[in-house]
Every structure is written in structure tokens, then in C-alpha cells.
Structure 1
Amino acid sequence: MNRVEPAFALIDCNSFYASCERVFRPDLARTPIVVLSNNDGCVIARSYDAKPFVKMGEPYFQIRNTLRRHGIMAFSSNYALYGDMSQRVMTLLEGMAPALEVYSIDEAFADLAGMPGSLEALGRQMRATVLRCTGIPVGVGIASTKTLAKLANHAAKRWMKQTGGVVDIRDPERRDKLLRALEVGDVWGIGRKLTEHLAEMGIRTAWDLAMADPWTIRKRFSVVVEKTARELRGTACLSLDDEPAPKQEICCSRMFGKRLRELEPIREAVATYAARACEKLRAQGSLCKKVRISIRTGMFNPAEPKFAKGVICELPYPTDDTRLIIRAASDGLELVYREGFAFSKAEVLLLDLRQPGEYTPDLFAVQKPAAVERVMGVMDAINARWGRGTLRPASVPTAPDWGMRRELMSQSYTTRVDQLWRVGG
């Protein structure tokens, strides 16, 4: 029986946030674009033609003149649009690969082992299909391991004109040529600090890391870096994760659209963040036993008094009940709130997460009411059908004046009927 050689593909959307904005603004096809963080704070995404002029993380208020001088268009983050476009891309890819691992909002690994025909041709078909059906350009890297597929994808986008956006390095000769051409910092999981430590050992290219002794790498760094080195040599150590592991913590944190001094608007914000965190909690089927609530003032204005504090609140039993978690977060807020400060941010962190059946309840403790699961299920079903916030706790406002400042946001072209894309007059 013939052994099936492993084959992975990494499909990564090019400048995803910026590309989503361009899909519905074809007039910006040749205009550089940057996308800003919450409250239009700093740059979190750049189109390829904006990268020479703007660095990631630069504050918007400092670079407005630079953007204007170079004709760069800025957009506020439109997460509803980006999430919907991501789902469309992933749905297309799922129809062309036997198994898919959605790694992030803009990239996915596909298991192509045993697929007939040319995998490079399949990669080009994936790229063409996604572009035709969504307008989003992607790069495709194909290799015998996930780490090499990441590297092949990097090469596909770096040398787009020569590669056409698709690179297959399953051939050892092509693989080794690429490893010699790329710096070790280009390897998946090798950050700046680790790059510096590897350079001290004379490891400066991806090829150097692939040729390094695995046991020495493991002893000096970690088993993770050892697996990376082995994967670069073509030994598959990472499998495809069809279902991501449940998160051990769930956080919802936002900057307010303006400074808040009074307790009640901060309480509204905390309730809103807690409700969103509970949606994520139920989406992964987990229960929460502890909630941490924290607030802080702005930390960079020397004229403003500084204050930051947080507290952990214990819940009576593991739960996914939005109402109970909001109540606990509100109680915690009263413990950390101080008058006389202008608060800029609040955070709700769900801790001690467990799956149902992973804990033994106390015989004499308060138990989770049986009706909670039905109530939360109905609320999630209504919101899934009619839109988030259709049914919500009374403590969560609809249009608060402290909401995020997004003055440059594009329309919700795919998620709101009143903002659908219009063509023609």
C-alpha cells in the first residue's frame, strides 16, 4: 500500500482589512489604505502600497498629515464587515479542501494529502475562486509541513509578480533554496527576541535553523522551537486542528469613546462588555467560575491623574448566564470605582473556565437553575437570526454616548439591509 505524503496549504488573505474596504470601493483600487484600531487610535492594518509610508501601531493623530501628503485613505475598523467577509472566504475554501483549520480571521490551513492532480494548480484554483467570488486576493503556500507552508505563503506574497501568489515547496530542492533565501525571523513563531538569541548561535537564516541540532535547540530554548526546526527539515510535527481548543480565558476590553467620570455610564459599559464575553463563552460551550473587572484612566496624558484597579469576583457556581455575570461584574465595579478620575477603559475577563461535566458540584452549594440554559439558548438564537443586540439585558444600552469613536467607518455593506452596496444610479 502506497504511503500518502503529507501536504499542507496555508491560504492567507492579502492585507485583509484593507482588501475588504476595497471590495466595495473599486475607486480605491490604486489608493493606499490604512485601517485604524478602536476609537481611531492607531494603525492596525495597511495595504501593500501604504507600507513604505506608515508603520504599524503609529497613532492616527500623529500621522494625519503624512497620510494626506501621500494620498493614503484611512478607515475606522469595521469588524462586522471583516467578520462576514472572512466567513465567505472560509466557506469557499472548505468546499475545495477535504479538511480546513481556520487559523485566524484571514488565514487557514488546508490538508491536501492524497488530493489528485497538481497541488499548485489547485492552489491557483483556490486563489482564483476566492478572488472571483469575494474580491479578496489571497496567497497560497504549499509544503509538507505547516511551518514550511507558512514560509511558502510568505514567499508567495513577497515575490508576487514571479510566483503569481502560489508557491509549492514540497520538492526538497525548491524547499532548501527558499530556506537559504529567508532570514530566520521570517519563520513562523520566531519573534524578534528569539531571532537575537539564535543569531548568537550563528543561526541567521531559515536554513541555519533547519540544519541545527534539534536536541541542542530544545535544551537552549524549548520543545516548540525544536518542533519548528524539525518542521523546516520536512518532518511534520504539527497536525491539522479541525476544532480549536476552548480558550482558557475570555476577555472583552474597549476604550471608551470619551472620558467617563460617573459610575452609571461605566456600569453600562461593563455590562455591555460582560454580555459580549458571555456570547463568546457560550459559543465555545464553556462555563465560567470567576470574573475579573478592571478600569483605568488614560496613561499617557501627563496632565491627567492616573488610576487603575481590578478585582476578581467569585461566582456561586460555574455558569454561562449573562445576567449573573453582569451582576457580578457590576458588584466588582463598585469596589474599584473612585470618584474624581476620568476613566478611559474597562475590561471584563472571564476566568476559571470549565466544560460542562469537568467539575463536581458541592452538594450543599447553590446550583445552576435548569431554566438558565433554555433562556440563554433562546436569546442567542434570536440574536443569531435578527442581529446582535436584538434581545439583550436591560442594563446593556442600545446607542450609548460613550461608545467607540469610529468617525471613518465604511458602510456595513453585507450585514445591514439599509447599507447594502448600491450599483448605478
Structure 2
Amino acid sequence: MFAHVDINNCYVSCETLFNPALRGRVVVVLSNNDGCVIARSNEAKAAGIRMGDAEFIVRKRLKELNAVIFSSNYAFYADMSARMMNNLARYTYLLMVYSIDEAFLAMGNLPVDLEAHVAMISRNVMRDTGLSITVGVGPTMALAKLANKAAKKLKRNYLVLDTTAKVNEVVKDFLIEDVWGIGKQYYEMLREMGVTTAEDFRQLKPDLVRQRMTVQGWRLQQELWGKPCNVIKDVADRSKGIESSQSFNSYQTDLEQLEEAAAMHAATIAFKLRQQNSMALLLTVYLRTNKHNISHDQHYPVITVKVPFASNSTQNLTRICVQALRAIYQPGYNYLKTGVRATGIIPAGEVQYNLFSNYDNSRRQALSHLMDEINARYGRGALRVAAEGYKKSWKMKQEFLSKRYTTDWRDIVVAR
């Protein structure tokens, strides 16, 4: 048995937790540069505010609703997510963090009553973190995810599908577009085939599913029949790499400003690598102009650089990324975005050194870990490499940023 847990209206829930006056009000959280709606309170959903709505389009409507608007406060949300994940780990022997607000838990072989155990998880997470969650349990990861969505539709905190009868009852009317792994392209194809529910999909011939939807579609169909094809991993999936990127608040043409942004992304990736005790062998640096502005010349340069020795040192990765950015930068273009992606990720203990090189990374490693300790104590970014700059005029637009209640001492809640 597997459990799928997610935070209800994650970003809005985090904001409401430290500002209870927001309860019952229309609340939305905006994406990078305050571009579009990425999180909504239930009241905002009821008022017709849709996910992905551009801020300038719904601005008037939000004003009419007396809505409260927030810019994305990612450091705050990530900290609250970590608190929930640490809490969930108490109730399983294997947990996989799937996204900032989602996790899968292994529930098999637990000598407990599943219904009571799941009810306790829901109750205790709310008690210990203040975050409302929904829990779905099923014999496969796909059915656990389906149970979670079904619970939300039924306005329940949890749903356990522990018998074939319960699975069949939920699957028969579950819309195919809401099934985990069914994207827009597959949805359009299945609709043309007359498939509208998860039960319709289960009834398709497996060979046809494999032919039209590859092995991933076949695995999904098997999982909907209760046959596990996916497993929970207790380590990060290193095959996908780690990426850090963001759009600027205005067009950037100055090389120095772009270097600062690339250095910041390199430092972020180095920190994430150290968190999972990994190192990277390859770094990809890219620049983007605005593809939607056809009046500007377009330029999408990208370069991949091999790291001489696998590293997670902030100093090493920053230096490499800044040099790579200089190699692809061309003056005269209005750049809107830059990013860094690390691939070829290996465990820190598996670095292959060169027999003919006297490579000693211990000093840089010690310095990076010291930076982590200082930033953990005084707030992220308190200590950083000079290449990241100081004023950062290129930083993304965040006009509605809330306080950093759990990540900055200056914003900690004070009881009077």
C-alpha cells in the first residue's frame, strides 16, 4: 500500500498560517515577476479566478473582490514544506518527496489499521505544522494519487482504497483528464477514442495502450488495475539533474548583471548538491530573450561545460558558470532570463580523481560548509560570494512579498 500526501492550496495555506485574518478571504499567490496566478484560496476558486490567469488580466476582478495578493515567497514555502516532510517521516519507513507540497509514503507491512493510521497522520500534521493536508491511500502509487484527488472532491481529509470494491467504485466515474500522468496530448487522443473515465482507460487493450502511449502509459494502466509498476525511492533521482533559473524584472543587456545572476544560480545549485550529498560533472548555462516580443532580435545561446573534477563547491561552480556565460553572451540583445542546470550528478563519495593531478578540494569544501552554517543561522544569502553582486537590480519583481516568518530573524512572529 502507498499513501500520497499533499498540502491543500500549499502557498496560500502557508501565508494564511501566519496571518489568520486571511481566512475566508480571496487570496492569490503570483508567479515569478508577479506574472500570473499559481495558487488560490478556495474563495478565489469559487470567485472564478483560474490557475494561470495573468495578473494584469484579473487585476480589476481581484480589486472588486478585495483580494489579498502575494508574490511567491519560495524560501518560506520551502521551509514549511521541509517541516511537513520531516513530520510525515515519523509515520512511515520510506518517504519520497515528490514536489514542494507532495510526498509518497510506503504503507505496506505496517502493523496498523490503515484507516486509523491515515486519520492520525492528517490530524497530527495539522497539529504540529498548522498545514491542512489530504491523504490518499491505494495499492499502487497511481491509485494513491487518484484516491487523494477523489478525497478532495468528496471534501474529505483522507480516502483509503484498500479493497478491490473501493477501487472500482472510485475508478468508474473518475475523469481521465484528472488521472496522474495523463497530459493534454494524451487526453485529446483518448477523448477521440471515446475514453472519458479511468475505468474506460482500464478497459483498453494493453497492447494498444503500449503502442499509442509507450511503456509509461502501459504502466499507468497496470497501476490502475492495482498492479504496482512504480516504486518509492528513498534517494533523490539524480538522472534529471538540478536547475536554477528565473526571469529578470526588466530586459538585461549588461554582461556584469548577467554574470551576477549566473553566479547566484550556480551558488543555489551548489547548495542543493551539498544538501543531497552529491556532486556534478556537467554544468549547462543558458540565456533567453523574450520569444513573445517579436520586435526584438531573438537569441537563445546555451553551453555545456564539463567540470574537471566532480564538485559541489560554491566557489568552483560559480567560477565555471561565470566563464561559461561570458562565452555565450553577445551584446545588443535584450535578455529576459538566464539559468544554470547541473547534470552528471554522482554521490559525493564516488568522485574519480586524476592520477597525474594533485587535486585537493578540502579547503573549498570546508569553506562551502561554513557558508551553509552561517546562512542557516542568519538567513539564506547572509554570506555569499562577491560574484553574486550586492544590489541585484536584475532581481525578479516581487511587489507583494510577504514576511519571511521562518527564514529571517527580522520577520519572526513576536508575541505581545
- TM-score, normalized by length of structure 1? 0.90
The residue number in structure 2 matching 1:126 is 121
Cα 1:379/1:179, change in 2 over 3 Å: same
Question: Deviation at 1:423?
Answer: 4.6
**Secondary structure of 1:98's aligned partner:** coil
Relative to structure 2, which stretch is displaced further, 107-116 or 168-177?
107-116
Question: Deviation at 1:59?
Answer: 1.9
- Whether the 8 Å CA contact 2:177–2:183 is kept in 1: the answer is yes
Relative to structure 2, which stretch is displaced further, 293-302 or 410-419?
293-302
CA-based RMSD:
2.3
Q: Spell out the pairing of 1:343-354 with structure 2 (5 A cutoff).
A: 343-354=335-346
Question: Deviation at 1:119?
Answer: 1.8
The residue number in structure 1 matching 2:330 is 338
**Alignment match of 1:64 (pick from 59, 62, 65):** 59
The residue number in structure 2 matching 1:147 is 142
| Letter aligned with residue 389 of structure 1 | G
Question: Deviation at 1:137?
Answer: 1.3
Question: Deviation at 1:361?
Answer: 4.5
The residue number in structure 2 matching 1:173 is 165
Counterpart CA distance in 2 for 1:216 and 1:191 is: 18
Relative to structure 2, which stretch is displaced further, 338-347 or 135-144?
338-347
- Whether the 8 Å CA contact 1:317–1:368 is kept in 2: the answer is no
Question: Deviation at 1:364?
Answer: 4.3
User: Structure 1 unaligned runs (5+)?
Assistant: 1-6
Counterpart CA distance in 2 for 1:331 and 1:381 is: 27
Counterpart CA distance in 2 for 1:137 and 1:365 is: 54
Question: Deviation at 1:72?
Answer: 2.6
Question: Deviation at 1:116?
Answer: 4.1
| Letter aligned with residue 109 of structure 1 | F
Question: Deviation at 1:75?
Answer: 0.6
**Secondary structure of 1:123's aligned partner:** helix
Counterpart CA distance in 1 for 2:172 and 2:31 is: 36
| Letter aligned with residue 95 of structure 1 | R
Question: Deviation at 1:344?
Answer: 1.9
**Alignment match of 1:214 (pick from 195, 206, 210):** 206
The residue number in structure 1 matching 2:276 is 284
Q: Spell out the pairing of 1:106-255 with structure 2 (5 A cutoff).
A: 106-160=101-155, 164-255=156-247
Residue-by-residue CA offset, 1:292-341 (whole Å, 9 max, x unaligned): 22223333334444333222333333322322322222222222223333
2:61 pairs with 1:47? no
- Whether the 8 Å CA contact 2:243–2:341 is kept in 1: the answer is yes
Counterpart CA distance in 2 for 1:387 and 1:199 is: 50
**Alignment match of 2:87 (pick from 86, 92, 97):** 92
The residue number in structure 1 matching 2:31 is 37
The residue number in structure 2 matching 1:4 is none
**Alignment match of 1:411 (pick from 394, 403, 406):** 403
Question: Deviation at 1:359?
Answer: 6.5
**Alignment match of 2:96 (pick from 93, 101, 116):** 101
**Secondary structure of 1:89's aligned partner:** helix
Counterpart CA distance in 2 for 1:328 and 1:244 is: 24
Cα 1:44/1:318, change in 2 over 3 Å: same
- Whether the 8 Å CA contact 1:389–1:398 is kept in 2: the answer is no
Question: Deviation at 1:147?
Answer: 1.0
**Alignment match of 1:16 (pick from 10, 16, 31):** 10
Relative to structure 2, which stretch is displaced further, 359-368 or 406-415?
359-368
User: Structure 2 unaligned runs (5+)?
Assistant: none
| Letter aligned with residue 189 of structure 2 | H
| Letter aligned with residue 179 of structure 1 | V
Question: Deviation at 1:370?
Answer: 4.5
**Secondary structure of 1:177's aligned partner:** helix
- Whether the 8 Å CA contact 1:8–1:109 is kept in 2: the answer is yes
**Secondary structure of 2:226's aligned partner:** coil
Cα 1:159/1:382, change in 2 over 3 Å: same
Cα 1:316/1:122, change in 2 over 3 Å: closer
| Letter aligned with residue 27 of structure 2 | I
The residue number in structure 2 matching 1:26 is 20
- Whether the 8 Å CA contact 1:290–1:313 is kept in 2: the answer is yes
Relative to structure 2, which stretch is displaced further, 60-69 or 325-334?
325-334
The residue number in structure 1 matching 2:386 is 394
- Whether the 8 Å CA contact 2:378–2:409 is kept in 1: the answer is no
Cα 1:170/1:255, change in 2 over 3 Å: same
- Whether the 8 Å CA contact 2:286–2:325 is kept in 1: the answer is yes
Residue-by-residue CA offset, 1:205-246 (whole Å, 9 max, x unaligned): 111222333343223322222221111112222222222322
Counterpart CA distance in 2 for 1:281 and 1:325 is: 11
Question: Deviation at 1:279?
Answer: 1.3
